[in-house]
Amino acid sequence: DRGSPHRVSSRRLSLELAPSEIALTRSFQ
């Protein structure tokens, strides 16, 4: 399935972006 690897990469991106969003919310606070 070609959709499988795509989902994995999107999950990877969200995982990498999660800490960034946390850092942003911290700076805002």
d(CA 4, CA 21): 26
pLDDT given at position 11: 73
> Is the model's pTM score more than 0.75?
no
Q: Is the pLDDT of residue 1 over 80?
A: no
Nearest one of 23, 14, 20 to 6, comparing CA atoms? 14
25 residue type, one letter = T
Domain limits at 22? 1-29
- Domain count within the chain: 1
**Average pLDDT rounded to a whole number, residues 11-23:** 77
